[in-house]
Amino acid sequence: METEAAPHRPMKPYLREFDPARDYERVSAWWQAHGWSAVPVGALPRLGVVAYFAHEDDIAAAGWLYMDNSVGVCMLEWLVTRPANRPKDSLRALDAIIEFLQQRAVDFGYGVMLTTARQSALVRLHERHGFQKTDEGVTHLISFPTT
């Protein structure tokens, strides 16, 4: 009896720019599936990327980089993975996104990158990419100022 070989997945995922019209609905569903509120599309910075393995519409993870316009500080935020991913695929996709956004920060002259994480596995992933813990037990708040 012959069995079909599992489809080949590249070791490192491909990246492309996040396209709100194409990707937001899917990514917002991932946040909700992970127990988070969806980040409003208008709050996402322009520098966002998605990772995929085989087809660019079959995305596995996403992340964004906010860049301050007055000092060399940027913020890596809103990392999210497709809930149905194998853990190894999520890790590889997030690794690629973090590496890419760190390099973009360097390319644009940002010398400090901040991020936040609640899950210990994500904290460890960030630490493997050179991040250092600065505090714990923080609550994030959001405001939508109006005139």
Tokens of 110: 């940002």
pTM, two decimal places: 0.87
DSSP 117: -
pLDDT of the chain along its 147 residues, tens only?
A: 444 545 555 578 999 999 999 999 999 999 999 999 999 999 999 999 999 998 888 999 999 999 999 999 999 999 999 999 999 999 999 999 999 999 999 999 999 999 999 888 999 999 999 999 988 888 777 777 876
Topology at the third CATH level for domain 14-128? Aminopeptidase (3.40.630)
Q: Where in the chain are the domains?
A: 14-128
Give the dihedral of Cα atoms 19, 20, 25, 27; nearest 10 deg: 60
